[in-house]
Chains A and B, each alone.
Chain A
Amino acid sequence: MAEWTTLAEAVKAHVHDGQTIAMEGFTHLIPFAAGHEIIRQRRRNLSLIRMTPDLIYDQLIGAGCAARMTFSWGGNPGVGSLHRFRDAVENGWPAPLAIEERSHSDLANAYVAGAANLPFAVLRGYTGSDFARVNDRIRSITCPFTGEVLAATPAVRPDVAIIHAQKADFKGNVLLWGILGVQKEAVLAAKTAIVTVEERVPSLEAPPNACVLPSWVVTAVCEVPRGATPSYAHGYYDRDNLFYQAWDEVSRDRGRFAAWLDRYIYATSDFADYRKLQSDLRAQAVSS
C-alpha cells in the first residue's frame, strides 16, 4: 500500500546515491518538485533514465547529481538546447556524464518490456542508422517464425520511478489523464515508485478504463500542488512557456545557473517555498 508522506520524506527514504532513477512525464506532468528535492538532498552518482530529459534533468545534471543518462530526445522543447546537458557531454562539467542514447520508440518499448518482466524489447527500428555503432546494447534478433531481423534492446528496470499525477485518494490510488507518456509503464517496471499529486481526494471517481495506478503498486504518494510546473497538469494549470524560454538564458552560463541553484533550490525548504519565492520576485518585477 502506498504511504502518504511529504516529498522530502519520500526522497530521503527511497532515493539513494548510485541508484537508477526514471522520472517520467512526456512534456505533461513532469515531476519537477521531486527533481528539486533530489537536488536539495544532494543525491549523487545517479543513473537517470527519461525519454525527454527536459529541464528537470538539465537541473539535476547541472547540480552534479547524475553520472549517467539514458534518453531519446535531449532538447528544450520549443526553445533549443539543454545547456547543462550539453556542457556535461561536451566539456565534462560539473562532472562527466556517460550517455546511453536510444530512440523514443525503443525506450517506450523498453519500458513496456520492463513492466512485463521481460529482459528485452523487440521492435522494428534503427535499420540503417548509426545507433548500434555507438551503443553496443542495441542489438538484433532473428524472428524464429519469419526469419525477419529485428532490433533487440535491454528492458528498462529502474530502482525508482517517480511520476506526477492529478489525483490520489486517501488510500493512495492514483489517477492521471491527458497525455500519459510512459508513466504507467515506468511505475510498473520499477522496484519502487514515488508519485506526487496535485490533490488528495476522498474518492477518485474514475470511469472504467481510466489510467489508475492501484495503491499497492505505489510506494509513496505526496501531495504537491503545482508539482509539475513549469510543465503542466491537464485540468489544473498550463505549461509555463516563459519559464522554458527564460531557462535558455539561466542555464547557458555556469555562474548564472549556480546562482539559480543556490537561490531557488538550496535556499528554499520545499517546493511550496520555491513557488512562493518565485511569485514574490515576479510581483516585485511587476511593481518595480
Chain B
Amino acid sequence: MSQACTSEETMTVAAARMLRDGAVCFVGIGLPSTAANLARLTHAPNAVLVYESGPIGAKPSVLPLSIGDGNLAETADTVVSTPEIFRYWLQGGRIDVGFLGAAQLDRFANINTTVVGPYHNPKVRLPGAGGAPEISSSAGEVLVIVKHSRRTLVEKLDFITSVGFLTGGGARERAGLLGKGPVAVITDLCILRPHPVTRELQVAAIHPGVARDTIVDATGWPIQFSDDCGETQAPTINELEVLRELLARTAAAHGVSGEAA
C-alpha cells in the first residue's frame, strides 16, 4: 500500500531500509542522518547511531542541524571525546555500517568532498574530509546516499577524499583496507550496487515511475543495469508518515529561536 510521494522521500525511505535492526551505524550529517533516524523510528529501533562529535547511541527526537547538536548528546547512551570516537570506536572496529553523503561519486563509489577543479586552483572549494575517509575505510560496510545528477555521478573525480573500490576489481583489498566498502548507493532515481567482480556500480533497483533513460541521462558514465534489476518497493504509508512527522518536528524545532546576524 502506498501513496504519492516525492523522489527524495523514496530515496530516504530506500536508504533507511538498508540499515538492519541492531546495526551500529556511524552517521554523516544531512541525508544519511535523516535516513538513519527514519530507520530507527521504523523497522530498526535497536540501531545504534554514532556521530563523529562523540555521541554513541543517539536517539534525537528531531534531526540535528549540525553534527554536534545538543540533542545528540542528551539522548545518547554515552558521549565520548572526538579522539576517542575515531580511535577506539571507528578504528577499533566497532562500527558495522558507515552512512555517508557525497558531493561527487565515480563508478567505483570513490567519493570527492574536497575540490572541483585543480586542487591548488579550485573552481569550487568544498568542505573537505570530515570523518569520511576513515569511515569509508574502517566501517564494516558503507552506504552512500546522494542525489542523482551528472554533476554528482561523474566519469572522473578531481580528488579522491574517501575510497570506494579505487580502480575496481580487487584494488580495495590490495590496498589493505579493512572494511568491505560501499555495498549500496541510494539515489533519488534508483539503487546502485557494485558488480561482484568488477565492482563497478550498476543499477540494481529502479524507483517507481523512473524511466531507464532518465537514469542514463543523469549519470556521468555509461551506466549498466544488472540482469536482475527490479523496482524499488514504494514507500509505505507508515514510512512516509514517520518521515514527514520527523521533518515537521525538525523544522519546528530549528526555526523558532535564535537571533538574526
Taking Cβ atoms with an 8 Å cutoff, the residues of A that contact B are 26-28, 51-52, 71-75, 77-78, 81-82, 85-86, 89-90, 101-105, 108-109, 111-112, 123-131, 133-134, 148-149, 178-182, 184-185, 230, 232, 234, 238-244, 246-247, 249-250, 260, 278-279, 281-282, 285
Contact = CB atoms under 8 A, between A and B. Distances in A.
Interface stretch (B119-127, B142-150, B189-197, B203-211): B119-127
Q: Which 8 A-B pairs have the closest CB atoms?
A: A27-B68, A242-B258, A75-B127, A78-B65, A77-B66, A246-B261, A73-B130, A128-B163
Given A77-B66, A77-B67, A101-B129, A180 B81 contact: yes
A104 B81 contact: no
Nearest to B131: A104
B99 to A, nearest CB: 16
B39 interface: no
14 contacts: A77-B68, A78-B66, A105-B87, A111-B83, A123-B86, A123-B87, A131-B129, A134-B119, A181-B81, A230-B258, A242-B259, A242-B260, A246-B261, A247-B261
Contact of B130 (A82, A103, A125, A244): A103
**Contact-residue bracket for chain B:** 35 or more
Contacts of B260: 242-243, 246, 281-282, 285
Interface stretch (B4-12, B49-57, B219-227): B49-57
Given A124-B91, A129-B162, A104 B176 contact: no
A130 B161 contact: yes
A73 B127 CA distance: 5
A273 B206 CA distance: 57
A178 B79 contact: yes
Contact of A72 (B66, B129, B254): B129
A281 B260 CA distance: 9
B70 A28 contact: yes
Contact of B82 (A51, A126, A133, A260): A51
Given A181-B53, A238-B257, A243-B260, 7 more contacts: A78-B64, A103-B130, A105-B86, A108-B82, A125-B91, A134-B119, A181-B82
Given A77-B65, A178-B79, A242-B259, A134 B137 contact: no
Contacts of A240: 257-259
A125 B162 CA distance: 10
Contacts of B79: 178-180
Contacts of A148: 176
B231 interface: no
Contacts of A112: 83, 87
Nearest to A111: B83
- Secondary structure of the A contact surface, majority rule: mixed
Contact of B177 (A26, A128, A243, A247): A128
A180 B133 contact: no
Contacts of B171: 128
A185 B81 CA distance: 10
B70 A108 contact: no
A238 B81 CA distance: 20
Contact of A85 (B65, B124, B125): B125
B52 A27 contact: no
Given A104-B129, A182-B81, A242-B259, A77 B70 contact: no
A106 B118 CA distance: 23
Contacts of B177: 127-128
Nearest to A135: B119
Contacts of A123: 86-87, 91, 134
Contact of A105 (B90, B128, B176): B90
Contacts of B86: 104-105, 108-109, 123
B41 interface: no
A76 B161 CA distance: 19
A240 B66 CA distance: 11
A145 B81 CA distance: 29
Contacts of B90: 105
B138 A178 contact: no
Interface in B150-185: 159-163, 166, 171-172, 175-178
B65 A179 contact: no
Contacts of A134: 119-120, 159
B102 interface: no
B259 A129 contact: no
Contacts of B133: 103, 105, 125-126, 129, 131
Nearest to A24: B82
A101 B114 contact: yes
Nearest to B64: A78
B95 interface: no
B29 interface: yes
B73 interface: yes
Contacts of A72: 128-130
